[in-house]
Structure 1
Amino acid sequence: MHGAGNDFIVLNGIDQDLSDITREQWQKLAHRQFGIGADQILLVEKSTRPDADFRYRIFNSDGGEVEQCGNGSRCFVRFVLDQGLSNKNPLRVEVAHTILTLKSHEDGQVEVDMGAPIFEPSKIPFDASGLASKQEFHEMLYALPLNAPATHDSWVAAISMGNPHAVQVIEDIESAPVTEEGAAIERHAAFPKKVNAGYMQILSRNEIKLRVYERGAGETLACGTGACAAVVSGIRRGLLDSPVKVHTRGGDLQISWGGISNDVPTPVIMTGPAITVFKGEVSI
């Protein structure tokens, strides 16, 4: 399946036990030459909580498990409905340490309540000690010193959407050093669990272009949580107004955020496509 070009292997872990698959086997499945090929693998399982309909786990193409995936969550709900695993709409799904609410629309678009953004550095997690910082409207920006091939500081906002993001604003999305600089940001020491590096070009107050270098996967055609983080950062910097259309290389997403109410961040709502490409079997 894919959500705006961000592609996934989606596995039914309810009718079969897939709990003993190793990291190396996940890597092989995700390999585009020696396996099926995907940015990430989604494993659909029975919920472990009474307030959720399902649980799903997310594995990057490097075999590592991660907490959250926005485009994957849309594919998850499309998969569950198409496979006849549930006829509920909306659905509540357990991911890592939170619950997402997902709704499928008649036009094929899927709306996801992504939960509230997290700004507290220790919860991202992000260690800002020793970094230069500056405030832009309501947003705090930090200078990340980068080693070769990049030899300059990148001013980023650090945000979590259930997974960590470092977002920066650039003038031209096409010439942005996403693959080179993104790799250096991904493994920067300030982010103990690594980070997704987002590059945002502002087109208007309600429209942006976005590229994201995802931790454990490299640059993908779209990143749902990256789109949420970018829009939240742009609104906090006084550059954007909700809702915002996000143009990724794989398609468009719409992100809405109501800001902060009574000192509490409101949930981010993401709407976008979820497409099934093919179905099959593989022997492990």
Structure 2
Amino acid sequence: MPLNFHKMHANGDDFVIVDSRNSASPVTSAIAQRMGDRNRGVGFNQLAVLLDCDDAAARLIFWNADGSALDVCGSATRGAADLLMREANVTSLVLRTHRGLLTCERTPTGNISVDMGVPLFDWSDIPLAQAVDTAALPLAGNPAACSMGNPHCTYFVDDLAGLDIAKVGPAIETDALFPLKTNVHFVQIIDRRHIRLRIWERGAGVALGSGSCSCGAVVNGIRRGLLDSTVEVECDGGSVTVQWDGVGSVFLVGPVVASFSGTLNVG
């Protein structure tokens, strides 16, 4: 079966968009895994499927490269918004995800801003396996946890240079405290408005960037009193801006770039 797709990236955080408006989603776990294979498929960190929606420009469902589903992806949401804004010749629209309705806007500089919703901090919402203080988890390194619609675990370190995240990330992702596994961030604070972030992404591995991880890292830093309300997040692939007033929605702002479009025979 031929499957049309668009390949995009946000500072190297690459994703694929399949437009299934006017039809049922053709993507299954097995197809997502097939497309996500960087040697035999297209390769991506996440895949987003566009579907028809009565109360938004489109509904998005997301897949990781390992075939697992997830509720939200900040980078792919920005990519879908960019495509649909260009198609409709508008600068603002609303998309529906499992996270709810997300308002997206094109900024004067061409970046895409997404209202990522209100972060969740209760242990059962993240979720964690037991009731603990989510601002200081009972794990070595004293990380913090939150949910942006998917689980995030943030470590604050003095120096990222000597940290092998490909070695330490998998053990934290699969720790028994996280029944649905977790994204793992390692944050070095440059100053109160600027952090350096490295990411081990649940279901994808080491990532050059991640919208939701950038949001989770900043939220946990603000909770700790370490950061101001607007923060530049410098990932391996480039920078995004995250804004949070400590109460309401988190706003993610950054670029998206179209790489190529194609058709893959998925069997």
Fold shared, TM-score > 0.5 on shorter chain? yes
2:178 pairs with one of 172, 191, 196: 191
Query: What is aligned with 1:61?
Result: 65
- Deviant stretches of 4+, over 4 Å: none
2:233 pairs with one of 230, 246, 253: 246
Query: What is aligned with 2:138?
Result: 143
2:76 pairs with one of 53, 72, 75: 72
Measure, in 2, the Cα distance between the counterparts of 1:168 and 1:31.
29
> CA-to-partner distance for each residue in 1:71-116, whole Å, 9 max, x for gaps?
111111112233x2x3343111111141111001242200111111
> CA-to-partner distance for each residue in 1:236-284, whole Å, 9 max, x for gaps?
1111112100000111000111113xxxxx1111100010011112222
Letter in 1 for 2:180: K
Measure, in 2, the Cα distance between the counterparts of 1:88 and 1:162.
27
Query: What is aligned with 2:264?
Result: 282
Measure, in 1, the Cα distance between the counterparts of 2:14 and 2:250.
22
Query: CA, structure 1 residues 97+242, in 2 after alignment: closer, same or farther (shift >3 Å)?
Result: closer
Query: What is aligned with 2:215?
Result: 228
Q: For this pair of structures, how many residues does the alignment match?
A: 259
> CA-to-partner distance for each residue in 1:51-76, whole Å, 9 max, x for gaps?
32210111000011101111111111
Letter in 1 for 2:10: G
Letter in 1 for 2:253: T
Measure, in 2, the Cα distance between the counterparts of 1:277 and 1:109.
16
1:75 alignment partner, SS class? helix
1:111 pairs with one of 106, 110, 113: 113
Measure, in 1, the Cα distance between the counterparts of 2:135 and 2:44.
34
Deviation at 1:219, TM superposition (A): 1.1
Identity of aligned residues (%): 35
Measure, in 1, the Cα distance between the counterparts of 2:15 and 2:228.
31
Measure, in 2, the Cα distance between the counterparts of 1:78 and 1:15.
20
Query: What is aligned with 1:26?
Result: 32
CA RMSD between the two structures: 1.6
Measure, in 2, the Cα distance between the counterparts of 1:113 and 1:201.
25
**Native 8 Å contact 2:135 2:220 kept in 1:** no
Query: What is aligned with 2:5?
Result: none
Tell me, which stretches of 5 or more residues in structure 1 are unaligned?
A: 134-138, 145-152, 261-265
**Native 8 Å contact 1:4 1:71 kept in 2:** no
**Native 8 Å contact 1:126 1:158 kept in 2:** no
**Native 8 Å contact 2:24 2:51 kept in 1:** no
**Native 8 Å contact 1:58 1:68 kept in 2:** yes
Measure, in 2, the Cα distance between the counterparts of 1:212 and 1:276.
23
Q: Which has the higher contact order (CA 8 A, sep 6+)?
A: 2
2:47 alignment partner, SS class? strand
Letter in 2 for 1:7: D
